[in-house]
Chains A and B, each alone.
Chain A
Amino acid sequence: MTTTAIGGEQVGADAQAAHSTWAPTRRRHREAGRGPAWTIGALAIMAYALFPVAWIASLSLKGEGDIADGKLIPTKPTLDNYRTLFDSGEFVRPLINSIGISLITTVLAVVIASFAAYAIARLDFPGKSLLLTGALAIAMFPPVSIIGPLFNIWRSTGLYDTWPGLILPFLTFALPLAIWTLAAFFREIPFDLEQAAQVDGATPFQAFRKVILPLALPGVFTSAIIVFIFCWNDFLFSISLTSTDEARTVPAATAFFTASSNFINPTGQIAAAAIIVTVPIIIMVLVFQRRIVAGLTAGAVKG
């Protein structure tokens, strides 16, 4: 944490030469050196991790009659559960809440964290390490311990059961995450580039927007995805700080699903809901896989 705002001149000529072709870090993945043991190990881990997912997927495709038959492959696959889910009105609104709240939090967190991380990477201001340690401490803080007080404060301030009521606590925990990730990226961008931009006539903000930000894009992506997943997966805040479909997100809403009759568990619908909220995450991770890996390793190297 000792990166200070000095010119590249202190760096030796060799190091500068190395910087001259600077480009966002990309790591090559080696395929070599993987024996059968590796393959067996990988399969075992995948089976362990994916079996519950497969089971949920299977449940979501079973009818009410065979839901408890204990078979992995449904005998009479049906989409009834999905249909009921969207028809019941218990699911659509929470889905909108989930998407909206997660997106808004992500955008806010990334924008605010970009500025904060940039300042942390570039400037030497008093209290910098305090700020960073503070951010880390918040990220590590067990959320459950603030739920009680928050519940009371939210009730008296009118934030209870509103979108901002969830966005705020989400931001609190997402910002440190985003700041740490982004600061690692900004630190890798040579200061010279920004000075060159300033000499070329750019204001500090233009230099940031036209040079630094595009170069930090993998970092921005990585932190956006991390923040989005954090919000999307939250159960604790949503179940504690909402009471209706006004702001309740999918993970909490599934807990309140009612079945067609009081004596049946809505297992099928819950499974279908679980599948629906998992799919966007899987797609996102697959699409941005490269960037996330590049991002996480770059952060790890510098961290």
Chain B
Amino acid sequence: MAAITMRGVTKRYPDGTEAVKAVDLDIADGEFVILVGPSGCGKSTLLRMIVGLEDISDGEMRIGDELVNDRAPKDRDLAMVFQNYALYPHLSVRENIAFPLRIAKVPDAEITKRVEEAAKVLELTENLDRKPANLSGGQRQRVAMGRAIVRDPKAFLFDEPLSNLDAKLRVQMRTEIARIQRKYGTTTVYVTHDQTEAMTLGDRVAVLRKGVVQQVDSPRNLYNDPANLFVAGFIGSPSMNLLPGVLRGSTLELPFGSVELPAARVPQGGGAERQVIAGIRPEHFEDASIVGDDDRGHGSTFRSRVEVIEWMGSELYAYLPYSVGGGSVGAKLDELAADLDLEQTSGDDSQIVARFDAASRVSEGGDAEVWVDVRRVHLFDPDTGETLTPRETAGSRDHAPGAVQD
């Protein structure tokens, strides 16, 4: 086990693509860190630089106290689970798991013992003598993990390990991975493009965009205090509604009306009138008719037509149309939507996704009184995309290593 430290780590492919740009990241010993971001943002490249399958163009990569920039993968003592598992098709499950030990010339008796232990942890005992081709997707995934845990490496590295599984198995294996990581307490770096996976698994999550780390924080802090528009839009499902707005003092003018922000939400040095992008998560809207009197006080209400309702049983999603001129803010939002692979169209006609309690009686095509929680409104600079909202959680927003949980 060891900490992993990156300083200015950069990857330039021979064709000139800068896949990873000056990444500073500290992963503490025993920590479970997630690298998350849309497809093509450089997550795999960064992971492969940690394990040594890609050269590091610039910067320093340390495992423990040792600089490993020029070390071959075999000398880094890390274990990796590949997206397609990369099981050896000609070897039985037993020999697949034993492979790293055989290479390390561990005595046979010890190999048998450790393989059987790993098989027990992963519930593979019955399948030890089968070939990978005869296993189900979940079992193959377990074999790949067996190959990783059997030799007690300095760290586990996962590259989208669940993306080839169906939805149900994915949830099951997610829990499994969390359980195994906790059991062994091994430093783990886990790559995924799925923000749900990132939020549920990690001690800390690093959000990447186009090779640049946007924010490294606990899942809770990422959700509560996104550092910029990108993180705001990427974390959370359904994603945060981003609306063009104008801020005057503590009054925020939104397409559906003005709201009065509480002091804690007003940007420092506010005052002058300025263009902003306001971010409000679907769960911070509510059907005004079922909001208690306590909550009414720190919210605003407005009337809106309800275009579509998606009833989920425990909750429902209402789509509220709004209209606004495009302009420069609209262009910014369009660019962001493209980055996030969202279908969100800003421009002239757009819609807010609002989550209401299942008790709500709003009807499709009708009008509704909608309440918005002003304490949870985020403001972003439309030019830089950086947040303007003072941080809610105590502590700094930089890349300091987080405390190890458990």
Chain A residues with CB under 8 Å of chain B are: 7-9, 13, 16-17, 19-24, 190, 192-193, 195-203, 206, 210-211, 214-215
Q: How many residues of B contact A (CB 8 A)?
A: 35
Could you pull out 12 A-B pairs where Cβ atoms are within 8 angstroms? A7-B48, A8-B84, A20-B164, A195-B53, A196-B80, A196-B147, A201-B77, A201-B151, A202-B103, A203-B74, A214-B90, A215-B90
- B223 contacts partner chain A, Cβ-Cβ < 8 Å: no
Interface positions of B from 57 to 80, Cβ below 8 Å from A: 72-74, 77-80
- B265 contacts partner chain A, Cβ-Cβ < 8 Å: no
Per-residue interface assignment for chain B, residues 158 to 198, with 1 indicating a CB less than 8 Å from any chain A CB and 0 otherwise: 00000110000000000000000000000000000000000
Given A20-B164, A193-B86, A211-B90, 15 other A-B residues pairs in contact with their CB atoms under 8 A: A13-B164, A17-B164, A20-B85, A20-B140, A22-B89, A23-B89, A24-B89, A195-B53, A195-B73, A197-B103, A198-B72, A199-B79, A200-B147, A211-B88, A214-B90
CA distance A130 to B315 in the complex (A): 65
Closest to B157 in A: A199
Interface positions of B from 81 to 106, Cβ below 8 Å from A: 82-90, 99-100, 103-104
With A190-B84, A195-B73, A200-B99 already in contact, the answer to whether A215 and B89 are too (CB < 8 A) is yes
With A198-B73, A199-B73, A200-B100 already in contact, the answer to whether A9 and B53 are too (CB < 8 A) is no
CA distance A147 to B80 in the complex (A): 56
The 10 lowest CB-CB distance pairs between A and B, nearest first, are A196-B86, A200-B100, A16-B84, A192-B86, A201-B103, A20-B84, A198-B73, A199-B80, A17-B164, A201-B74
Chain B residues with CB under 8 Å of chain A are: 44-45, 48, 51-54, 72-74, 77-80, 82-90, 99-100, 103-104, 132-133, 137, 140, 147, 151, 163-164
Chain A residues with CB below 8 A from B80, complex form: 196, 199
Q: How far is the CB of B233 from chain A (nearest CB, A)?
A: 23
Closest to A206 in B: B103
Closest to B134 in A: A21
With A19-B84, A23-B133, A202-B74 already in contact, the answer to whether A7 and B164 are too (CB < 8 A) is no
Chain A residues with CB below 8 A from B78, complex form: 199
Closest to B72 in A: A198
The answer to whether B90 and A13 touch across the interface, beta carbons within 8 angstroms, is: no
Q: How far is the CB of B111 from chain A (nearest CB, A)?
A: 13
The answer to whether B103 and A192 touch across the interface, beta carbons within 8 angstroms, is: no
The answer to whether A16 and B83 touch across the interface, beta carbons within 8 angstroms, is: yes
Q: Helix, strand, loop or mixed for chain A's interface?
A: helix
CA distance A210 to B74 in the complex (A): 15
The answer to whether A199 and B51 touch across the interface, beta carbons within 8 angstroms, is: yes
Chain B residues with CB below 8 A from A202, complex form: 74, 103
Chain A residues with CB below 8 A from B79, complex form: 199-200
CA distance A145 to B331 in the complex (A): 72
Q: How far is the CB of B41 from chain A (nearest CB, A)?
A: 12
Chain B residues with CB below 8 A from A197, complex form: 88, 99, 103
The answer to whether B74 and A7 touch across the interface, beta carbons within 8 angstroms, is: no
Chain A residues with CB below 8 A from B45, complex form: 9
With A7-B44, A199-B73, A201-B104 already in contact, the answer to whether A21 and B89 are too (CB < 8 A) is yes
Chain A residues with CB below 8 A from B151, complex form: 201
CA distance A21 to B163 in the complex (A): 15
Q: How far is the CB of B35 from chain A (nearest CB, A)?
A: 14
Closest to B81 in A: A196
Closest to A13 in B: B163
Chain A residues with CB below 8 A from B147, complex form: 196, 200
The answer to whether B88 and A193 touch across the interface, beta carbons within 8 angstroms, is: yes
Q: How far is the CB of B37 from chain A (nearest CB, A)?
A: 14
Closest to B164 in A: A17
Closest to B78 in A: A199
CA distance A214 to B88 in the complex (A): 10
Chain A residues with CB below 8 A from B52, complex form: 198-199
CA distance A200 to B54 in the complex (A): 16
Q: How far is the CB of B53 from chain A (nearest CB, A)?
A: 5
CA distance A17 to B74 in the complex (A): 26
Q: How far is the CB of B61 from chain A (nearest CB, A)?
A: 15
Chain B residues with CB below 8 A from A215, complex form: 89-90
Chain B residues with CB below 8 A from A198, complex form: 52-53, 72-74
CA distance A201 to B79 in the complex (A): 9
CA distance A214 to B83 in the complex (A): 23
Chain B residues with CB below 8 A from A13, complex form: 83, 163-164
